[in-house]
Structure 1
Amino acid sequence: MYFKGSQPNIKQSAEQLAMFIDTVRELFQHLTDSELLVRPKPGKWSKKEILGHLVDSAINNLKRFTEIQFLPSPYQLRPYRQEELVVVNQYQHLPLEHLLMLWKMLNQQILYVIENVPSEKLNLTWQVENENDLYHLDFLIADYVAHLGHHIDQVK
């Protein structure tokens, strides 16, 4: 099995996610409309679109975190079309409150799921479709939280 760095700690991942759930609203609500909507460069997302991308990430990862527990192993992780989802969902035009509520509710459910994964299931394996490397569920969870942290840092 493959791990980046040390083996992920599910408790730390859950604590970090809970902290993000508690702080993201405040982070975004302190931004002006122009700060939310400006795209730093052509082809780059605005801060509002980053939040929309995090909604898409939550939707896809909630499905992954649950399905891996009952589908055959290794779970086949299908990548999702990030750029296209941001465009099709038109996050740039949605009210900020709508995006914040959607993001928060999805992540509260993710937190509930990861806090209740039986310890023996943390070693369930998955792989990206059409690739050979195998990973464990606890790595997928830790990677989700790290991905979230990366994008939150972009907004700060």
Structure 2
Amino acid sequence: MADMERFRSLVEKLEGMISRVDEGITHIKPDQDKWSLKEIIGHLIDSASNNHQRFVRLQLGDLNNFPAYDKDIWITAQKYNDMQWKDITALWSSYNRILLKVIEHMDTNALGNVWIIDDKKLTLELIVNDYYRHLDWHIGHFEERLREIIEGR
């Protein structure tokens, strides 16, 4: 896949950011309806785990009715704020290193395979690119939340 360097760069960028954060502030929610830093990384773990399934299954053929997930329900159910920062960040980093390998070795003939959901056809290539677009957006989200927490202290 042509964008491997960009994908790797995004993973490394967030790894660098999370390594510099004081664990003592990672549970803080600036507002009840805003995620903490732990919850943002937790959401990115959920995204990685769901997309891992899509990346592998779509290499085997088209997907019909493979479930999506409700991000807020998953965050609430998993209680990321009660977990250790080092555990959450290690899992996120490891999972994303594995995804980079999955994508690097992806059969290019499978990139056109589709996931059919809600009468839409999403190709494997689009899903992979969207995963990293989503990660990039949450890197900005993480930076903004960190700033909010620091300024609110």
Please confirm whether the aligned pair reaches a TM-score higher than 0.5, indicating the same fold: yes
Corresponding position of 2:28:
38
What TM-score, normalized to structure 1?
Answer: 0.83
Describe the shift of the 1:116–1:75 C-alpha distance in structure 2 as closer, same or farther (beyond 3 A): farther
Corresponding position of 1:134:
121
Structure (1/2) with the larger helix percentage: 2
Maintained 8 Å contact 1:74/1:134: no
Q: Deviations over 1:41-85 (max 9, x none)?
A: 2222111100000001101100110011124x2443421121122
Describe the shift of the 1:103–1:93 C-alpha distance in structure 2 as closer, same or farther (beyond 3 A): same
Corresponding position of 2:6:
16
Corresponding position of 1:145:
132
CA distance in 2 between counterparts of 1:119 and 1:69 reads: 9
Q: Pairwise mapping of residues 1-156 of structure 1 onto structure 2 (< 5 A)? A: 10-12=1-3, 14-33=4-23, 35-71=25-61, 73-128=62-117, 131-156=118-143
CA distance in 2 between counterparts of 1:77 and 1:17 reads: 25
CA distance in 1 between counterparts of 2:87 and 2:93 reads: 10
Maintained 8 Å contact 1:38/1:47: yes
Describe the shift of the 1:37–1:74 C-alpha distance in structure 2 as closer, same or farther (beyond 3 A): closer
CA distance in 1 between counterparts of 2:80 and 2:74 reads: 9
Q: CA deviation at 1:155?
A: 1.2
Tell me the matched-pair count.
143
CA distance in 1 between counterparts of 2:99 and 2:10 reads: 12
- Provide structure 2 residue ranges, at least 5 long, that are not aligned to the other structure: 144-153
Q: CA deviation at 1:37?
A: 2.0
What TM-score, normalized to structure 2?
Answer: 0.84
Greater Cα shift, 91-100 or 26-35: 26-35
Task: Letter of the 1:49 partner, please give it.
Answer: E
CA distance in 1 between counterparts of 2:83 and 2:70 reads: 20
Please provide the CA RMSD for this pair: 1.6
Maintained 8 Å contact 1:21/1:107: yes
SS at match of 2:60: coil
Aligned-residue identity in percent: 26
CA distance in 2 between counterparts of 1:34 and 1:95 reads: 10
Q: CA deviation at 1:34?
A: 5.0
